[in-house]
Amino acid sequence: MIIASAEYLISSPDYTNCPVPDKPEYAFIGRSNVGKSSLINMICNNQKLAKTSSAPGKTQMINHFEISSLKDNHKPNDKFDKWYIVDLPGYGFAKVSQTARRRWEQMIENYLRKRENLVNVFVLLDSRHTPQAIDLEFVNQLGKWQVPFNLAFTKADKENQRTVAANVKAFLDAMRKTWQFLPQHFVTSAEKKQGRDKMLAYIEQSYKEYFESDEQE
């Protein structure tokens, strides 16, 4: 998949304010400071697309980006595929009031459970760390809500590969205790663009399946 353009579209306080659900949508979420904006920018090959910050909790709304990708890599003048990337607030939460936290939680839950064109959620996990309870709780919640998701392990360049591999295996092993089938996972580095091609290939395939399922219905 070749991305031709990626543009910020809108920030919404609730799923009801989001753009018309007429395009496949891929959401990104993770604990605060997991490298979400950097990963989105890496995938779109645009370092200024999603705003990055060293301060956790920067993202506080549902942020939509409209992506145009070439239908055929060998036909640059062919029509574009159009889809959305969605940057969601982190579920680890920065130091905010209980009222703000509850508002964020409700906003995220409503979006994940009610957004009809949501194809997949990429749950971001910091590959430098062993399994965190909050991450396991979140993916288990997605399972209960029957929300499709994959795992993206971030910052793989910040640690030696043996440690990264061990942490990835540990998280998947922890999931195996309660999950019969594991989701697809990607090991990524925003700096080295590791995992980009595999994530885009997944998006391209699921994009096609999205419209094929519509035709069958």
pLDDT higher than 80, residue 135:
yes
**pLDDT above 80 (res 96):** no
Per-residue pLDDT at 48 exceeds 70:
yes
> Could you tell me which residues come within 8 angstroms of residue 179 by beta carbon, excluding any fewer than 6 positions away?
143
What is the model's pTM?
0.90
3-state class (DSSP) for residue 212: helix
Nearest to 88 by CA among 67, 116, 65: 65
Q: For residue 27, is pLDDT > 50?
A: yes
Q: How confident is the model at residue 130 (pLDDT cuts 50, 70, 90)?
A: very high
Domains and CATH numbers, the chain: 3-216 (3.40.50.300)
Instruction: Tell me if 143 sits within 8 A of 179, measured CB to CB.
Output: yes
Question: In the predicted model, what is the mean pLDDT of residues 132-145?
Answer: 95
| Of residues 154 and 60, more confidently modeled | 154
Q: How many helices (H) and strands (E) does the chain have?
A: 5, 7
Confidence class of residue 74 from pLDDT cuts 50, 70 and 90?
A: very low
pLDDT value at position 216? Answer: 52
Q: Which of 29-33, 53-57, 138-142, 174-178 has the lowest mean pLDDT?
A: 53-57
Query: What confidence category does residue 215 fall into, taking pLDDT thresholds of 50, 70 and 90?
Result: low
Give the chain's mean pLDDT.
Answer: 88
Task: Name the one residue in this structure whose structure tokens are 């990963």.
Answer: 39
